[in-house]
Amino acid sequence: MQLSDIKEGSRAIINHVGGNAALRRRLHEMGIIKDSEVYIEKYAPLRDPIELIVKGYHISLRVGEAQEISVKTVK
């Protein structure tokens, strides 16, 4: 499942960060790494961007960037 498919108010664990090398590096620098838990705080009115909470930090990602991140949901 992709991060962009997760519903608002849900939690997920990151399985894999894809994309080109520059995107992966930028995401890793923001704390989006394998086995990190993310909380989908909210979507913008047109569903782009997404606001996440990762390791206590608020991060906004474009939907295209979020599609490169594979996750599994946490119940």
Strands 69-74 and 11-17: antiparallel
Quote the pLDDT of residue 34: 93
Residuewise pLDDT in 10s, the chain (75 residues): 999 999 999 999 999 999 899 999 999 998 999 999 999 999 999 888 999 999 999 999 999 999 999 999 987
**Quick one: pLDDT at residue 71?**
95
Domains and CATH numbers, the chain: 3-74 (2.30.30.90)
Q: What is the pLDDT of residue 67?
A: 93
For residue 48, give the nearest of 30, 64, 26, 31 by alpha carbon. Answer: 64
For the entire predicted model, the pTM comes to 0.84
Q: Amino acid letter at 63?
A: V
Q: In the 8-state DSSP scheme, what is residue 27? A: H
